[in-house]
Amino acid sequence: MTVQTKNTYETKDLIISGGLNMSVSVSGFFKVIVVRVDVFDSEIIDERHFADQKEASAFCENMKSTPGITAMVISM
Tell which residue, 38, 37, 63, 40, has the closest CA to residue 50.
63
Question: Does position 34 have pLDDT exceeding 90, yes or no?
Answer: yes
Mean pLDDT, residues 46-71: 92
pLDDT tier for residue 27 given thresholds of 50, 70 and 90: low
Residue 40 has pLDDT above 70, yes or no: yes
Nearest CA to 51 out of 73, 23, 22 is that of: 73
Report which of residues 22 and 58 the model is more confident about: 58
- Mean pLDDT (whole number) for 23-49: 85
DSSP reduced 3-state for 74: strand
User: Across residues 27-37, what is the average pLDDT?
Assistant: 89
Separation CA 76–CA 74 (nearest Å): 6
Q: What is the number of other CB atoms lying within 10 angstroms of the CB of residue 56?
A: 22
